[in-house]
Structure 1
Amino acid sequence: MLNIYLLFIVYLCRMWLRSKRSMSQLSDEQLVARYRDGDDMDALAFLFDKYLDLIFGVCMKYFKQPQDSEDGTMAVFEVLVVKLKTHDVHNFKSWLYVLTKHYCLQKLRQRGKTLTKNSEDILMQLVDEVHPDDVYLIESRENGLRECIQQLPADQKRTVQLFYFESQSYVEIADTMSVDKEKGRSFIQNGRRNLRVCMNKKNGEQGIK
């Protein structure tokens, strides 16, 4: 009886290793599709394991405590099970970073933490041009973003700061800047476009693809 049990365990291990080798040959998009279309939990588990360090790193950035970060990492997996079924994900790594960050911020708000926007929030607004490779790369790009903000024309710089850092609405910005609402919106849109150009240039100079 014991020999049969051991043979069964060996068989399961071999099947798991074979499945893992097969998964490693698939792109993130293919793995997402396998989970979305076929309820393939092995595909989801492989994706989670692949980006486990990224998820834990983001949790540590916000929670500061290993135990809270471990709990947060497992909670993100539970969120993944649901949200990956309902969201159209084109860049899984970027989407997962944002999902994890939003989870952490939500938990901190529930604990009564006061949160302010920072330059990372603007980076995530520019996610189409600046895909986050991992939490450390995002942080390294914040310095470049600050430099780009300083290079904006005065009106664009001021409206970007009011909109992103002080969370003012278009109406509030118009009042602060003594311009009409559409003019304020135009400053923000032009400022965002110039930030993208500046960040793309800096990323190219640094060899970041």
Structure 2
Amino acid sequence: MLKGQGSILNPTVMAALVAACVAMLAWPVNDWLNRRRDRALRTERVSDVQRALLAEIRAHVVALEGQRLDASERVALLDSLHDQNRIPFVPAQANDRIFSAIIEDVHILPADVIDPVVTYYRQLSIMAALAEAMHKQANTDHARAVAMFGDYLELSEAALESGQEALRLLMTSVFFGEDALRQMLDEEKAAVLAARQAELSRLASSLPAELEELRARLNTRFSDRSGL
């Protein structure tokens, strides 16, 4: 009876039970493997995007560093443009092709990297718009166009600084990992906070003496006027 067709010990029933158990156990294992594969693919994609942006930003930052002018050189250049009645040609920039191609994936970057990267490329966009407006203005108001070129030089300096910051964070994230990036930023914030607290403590400690000195000056001034 135990080995009858309806018995649980029937080979067909046992095979079905074993298959059901294997399927039940395989589902969470397969799910775990799929999620592990997805995480690996996402990590690889994040690394690829960061490395591509790193290469693009680094190339332009190097170019900006080579074109950098100090304050006196900028003044001399703008004066020369005024005197010669000309405006330098600023070619259309092509330093955001990679960013434009991956802009839909920018959200996968580490949170601490997104803002500096977007800020840098935003600077490039503003520079391109200003250069276009400057060339149009040159035909009608040369003095205004020269002033706009001065603004363009200042924007170039800002783009250089934001690009250097983006490079610093990208390099830390790519070569040392997101945890190292977070630790570095936390340490920098802690150092800034400590410096501010030290400055506040210094001001607090010197304030009574400064108030006493001010009181003494006021008393002296009042005494001098009383003797008139």
TM-score (norm 1): 0.26
Higher helix share: 2
> Which has the bigger relative contact order, CA under 8 A and spacing at least 6?
2
Larger Rg: 2
